[in-house]
């Protein structure tokens, strides 16, 4: 999901580079999902469509872009856009689940994606998510059994109401991958990440607490 305003960052996160101009938040995530053998990737965008198109050229037929005009109403509307796209273009019974992640979490590993999907396939839990202590990360799998609940949920509340309704059935999968929990929201956090990826020590003023 890459349809937010990136107001705290001050720049569209999708196009921010990690190591070079070809390695951005968005392209890294797309490569990660494909390395984990996800059959299709849907990028939910809004205000920066032209930039996202540029990042994803040449286009891969396994990657689709959907615009979410309702993004000011909340993050859940991006998940709605992806679910509705799938229902329009794919037989409903073919869509077993959706794996959702945020453009804010660019360093999740392919191994984590595979582990989360594998745990869902073994258990068919309605929700599967990475967990480390009390922290919950990304990506998150939502089983098709709760698609209707997600689509009917109030965007102002988000998916939290659906998650709470299924709290006894959620599978929190123990994951040690720091990238699954590293949410990059601000310019300081981004600079700290760039320093780390470059093998440099981040200045104390920009290190995450």
Is pLDDT above 70 for 176?
A: yes
Q: Which domains does the chain have, with CATH numbers?
A: 13-198 (3.90.550.10)
Of 180, 190, 100, 186, nearest in space to 135 by CA = 180
Q: What is the pLDDT of residue 1?
A: 66
Task: State the Cα–Cα distance between residues 108 and 111, nearest whole angstrom.
Answer: 8
pLDDT bracket for residue 22 (50, 70, 90): confident
pLDDT over 90 (residue 151): yes
Residue 95: the pLDDT is 86
Residue 171 has pLDDT above 90, yes or no: yes
d(CA 8, CA 16): 14
The reported pLDDT for the residue numbered 57 is 61
Task: For residue 59, give the 3-state DSSP assignment.
Answer: coil
pLDDT at 87 (0 to 100) = 63
Q: Give residue 165's pLDDT.
A: 95
CA atoms within 13 A on the CB side of 6: 22
Point out which residues pair with 174 in neighbouring strands.
131
Instruction: Give residue 47's Cα distance to chain centre.
Output: 17
Give the containing element (helix H, strand E) for 86: helix 76-89
pLDDT given for residue 59 in this prediction: 73
The whole-model pTM stands at 0.84
Residue 3 banded pLDDT, cuts 50, 70, 90: low
203 bridge partner residues:
none
What pairs with residue 131 in β-bridges? 136, 174
pLDDT of 205 over the 60 cut: no
pLDDT at 45: 84
Strands 127-132 and 171-174: parallel
The average pLDDT across 32-40 equals 94
* Phi, psi (deg, nearest 5) at residue 171: -100, 110
Q: What is the model's pLDDT at position 122?
A: 97
- Report which of residues 95 and 47 the model is more confident about: 95
Judged against a pLDDT cut of 80, whether residue 94 lies above it is answered with no
Give the H/E segment covering residue 208.
none
Residue 10 has pLDDT above 70, yes or no: no
Mean pLDDT of the chain: 85
Do residues 88 and 66 lie in contact, with contact meaning Cβ atoms separated by under 8 Å? no
Q: Residues 48-73: what's their mean pLDDT?
A: 77
């Amino acid at each position: 999901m890459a349809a937010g305003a990136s107001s705290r960052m001050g720049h569209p996160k999708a196009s921010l580079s990690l190591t070079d101009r070809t390695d951005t938040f968005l392209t890294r995530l797309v490569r990660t999902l494909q390395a984990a053998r996800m059959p299709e990737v849907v990028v939910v965008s809004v205000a920066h469509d032209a930039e996202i198109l540029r990042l994803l050229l040449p286009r891969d037929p396994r990657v689709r872009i959907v615009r979410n005009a309702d993004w000011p109403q909340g993050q859940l509307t991006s998940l709605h856009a992806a679910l509705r796209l799938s229902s329009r273009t794919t037989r409903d019974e073919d869509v077993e689940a959706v794996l959702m992640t945020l453009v804010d979490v660019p360093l999740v590993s392919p191994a984590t994606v595979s582990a989360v999907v594998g745990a869902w396939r073994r258990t068919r839990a309605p929700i599967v998510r990475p967990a480390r202590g009390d922290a919950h990360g990304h990506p998150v799998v939502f089983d098709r059994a709760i698609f209707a609940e997600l689509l009917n949920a109030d965007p102002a509340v988000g998916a939290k109401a659906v998650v709470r309704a299924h709290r006894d059935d959620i599978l929190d999968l123990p994951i040690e991958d720091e990238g699954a929990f590293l949410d990059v929201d601000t310019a300081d956090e981004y600079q700290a990440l760039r320093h780390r990826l470059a093998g440099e020590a981040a200045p104390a003023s920009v290190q995450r607490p």
